[in-house]
Structure 1
């Protein structure tokens, strides 16, 4: 998701007062600061062809944009590039005196609300946040999803529905599967009703379940499954294996271990497979990283697993999928390794994506 990271904040200032404020902020946060040629100071980058053109480039390159400028100017300059809450960067606006910091775009998923509070704290300014859940001092499903590195089916509709139910004071339950129950207290869940067991539900209008499971028991209320991305798939395959075969076998392996496909966080293999069409297509299809490990990295762990001399002679290490999954999941492997049609798949579950 498009959660803002401190190291990828672009700041734009248009006036001498804005430059001075940006210099204050630079002492507290790692910022890439842009301004005009005539206002340029050490540590600042000049606009390219124009202010608007520089913003256009930054919109896709940075996870957060901060403007020291009038809100109207900012609205007009970003308008052509605004897409949706899943992909837009956080956009925050402040006045050059540093009295008000406004969360303008991507408040929850993009992290603009959090960044607004952080900047306001640095400047002792007033944070201006207008999202309904925040105004009502409630948690938001999209913020919880971002903090968990989680996703769900029909994400936009689910978020809209659940957040509206929360601000309407309807009873929305929140159940954490065993893998996540111990860390549930680390997250903002204000407004949700804690549910300890799916077999004994309190009176609810809807239920959000945090789980990796592919299937849950049917309930007589609307159920929204929030799936953290935690499953790592170490993979090996013969050269030029058809993408459809690899995809079908991964789905089979996930199903055999009762994982929701949305739980997939990354796939990994050996360096020799970094240009393997089927694996690249698989990563693109699931929109997950394709992690590459060297022979030396895999060799450090191959003694833990059965090895194939044929694979060793071909690649330089006797096992690929198992040590790759081991490395990605910090040794937390699950199930047995699938070996079919020249494809091997080993799954692991990591604490974080």
Structure 2
């Protein structure tokens, strides 16, 4: 998904009227505005070589692209760039008189629908949104996943199936596990049937469960597990430990605490491990950030945990995995610290998206 891109929005304007409208919007939104050399205004960036080339560069660099232009022009210029709904940025189109704002691409996961509504509200324009769930005033599984920063097995097919069931007026239940239940009211769940307990289901055609668990009780209906990314792992290891060893031990820790592997949010270690091949490869393999903490940052919390004289002599701090997990999870550690084969792993659960 495109959540790792910068927060600024790329805006493209092709006419004097578009430039004037962009000027109005700059006061309210974090915009990076592009236009042609002949229309250039202070604070605007000229197209780099051509309009199409600049759009191609922005498509992979920004979470959202806004065009003040004809829809046909925009469709033609972005067509060669399209990948899939999990990676494409939001694309919104509006006319220079600010009468209509159109959600064109990545309405749910990319946030184009929300951006369209925001722009329309700022301009007093008509928001044009055509996704079936929105048209029918229903929630969407991919939107819920994005808001929760959650994933699931076979994400694309699951979203297609559940959203189709919702718009077909089938009964799709929604169950929130443990700590997530008090937060349920914060999310758009229109169309889902609330489920209080997995032991006494109402009549349903399918069930979506928001949980970190690696396993749930079997049900007689299709079950879709939506897994928020909340689990963090502080990791320390001997130099040149293999990726296989670290990965297997991390999976062992996750399984021991009954966490779904999809719940992993980040791994962390000391800055001296910034070039540790196994940790870099692990972060890339699991598609999570690799967070590094200085010796001073870890030392602030090492008194909470057992320390190792050897680790202190080697790294300058007596413990790595536990204070790293403490910082990543804001003090919410779970389970015990695994120590074997020159590797230490401590898990925590962050309550923040």
TM-score, length of structure 2 as denominator length: 0.99
1:247 is the counterpart of 2:247? yes
**Distance (whole Å) between structure 1 residues aligned to residue 307 and residue 179 of structure 2:** 31
Q: Distance in 2 between matches of 1:352 and 1:256?
A: 23
Instruction: Tell me the equivalent position of 1:310.
Output: 310
Distance 1:259 1:274, change over 3 A: same
Q: Can you list the C-alpha shifts for 1:185-227, whole angstroms capped at 9, x where unaligned?
A: 0000000000000000000000000000000000000000000
Contact 2:64/2:89 (<8 A) preserved: yes
User: Do the aligned residues in 1 keep the contact of 2:5 with 2:61 (CA within 8 Å)?
Assistant: no
Residues 6 and 312 of structure 1, relative CA distance in 2, 3 Å threshold:
closer
- Give runs of aligned pairs for residues 158-177 of structure 1, distance below 5 A: 158-177=158-177
CA distance in 2, matches of 1:232, 1:326: 9
SS in 2 for 1:97: coil
Does the 8 A contact of 1:3 with 1:109 survive in 2?
A: no
Partners of 2:190 and 2:139 in 1: how far apart? 5
DSSP-derived class of the 2:60 partner: helix
Q: Aligned runs of 1:85-96 on 2, under 5 Å?
A: 85-96=85-96
User: Is this contact kept in 1: 2:254–2:261, CA < 8 A?
Assistant: yes
Q: 1:5 to 1:282 in 2, by over 3 A?
A: closer
- Determine the structure 2 residue equivalent to 1:235: 235
Match of 2:322 in 1: 322
Aligned residues of 2:12 and 2:67 also touching (Cα < 8 A): yes
1:7 offset after TM fit, Å?
3.2
Confirm or deny: 8 A CA contact 1:338 1:346 kept in the other structure.
yes
Kindly provide the CA deviation profile for residues 252-279 of structure 1, in whole angstroms up to 9, marking residues without a partner as x: 0000000000000000000111110110
Secondary structure, aligned partner of 1:107: coil
Distance 1:147 1:6 in 2: 17
- For residues 280-291 of structure 1, the aligned pairs below 5 Å read 280-291=280-291
Q: CA deviation at 1:2?
A: 2.2
Partner of 1:180: 180
Alignment partner of 2:288: what SS? coil
Native 8 Å contact 2:6 2:62 kept in 1: no
Compared CA separation, residues 123 and 4, structure 1 to 2 (3 A): farther
SS at match of 1:252: helix
Residue 8 of structure 1 deviates from its aligned partner by 1.8
Please name the residue that 2:23 is paired with. Answer: 23
TM-superposition CA deviations, 1:45-95 (whole Å, max 9, x none): 000000000000000000000000000000000011100000000000000
Quote the RMSD (CA, aligned, Å): 1.0
Q: How does 1:332-351 map to 2 (within 5 A)?
A: 332-351=332-351
Matched residue of 1:84: which SS? coil
Find the counterpart in structure 2 of residue 111 from structure 1. Answer: 111
Over 2 Å off, 4+ runs: 1-7
- Identify unmatched segments of 5+ residues in structure 1: none
Offset, 1:352: 1.9
Number of equivalenced pairs: 353
CA offset digits 1:148-192 (Å, max 9, x no partner) = 000000000000000000000000000000110010000000000
TM-score by length of 1: 0.99
Corresponding position of 1:36: 36
State the match for 2:278 in structure 1.
278
CA contact (8 A) 1:236 1:269 kept: yes
SS at match of 2:175: strand
For residues 41 and 30 of structure 1, what CA distance do their matches in structure 2 show? Answer: 17
Question: 1:258 — aligned with what?
Answer: 258
Deviation for aligned residue 1:288: 0.1
Unaligned runs of 5+ in 2: none
**Quick one: distance in 1 between partners of 2:287 and 2:172?**
30
For 1:306 and 1:6, how far apart are their aligned partners in 2? 39
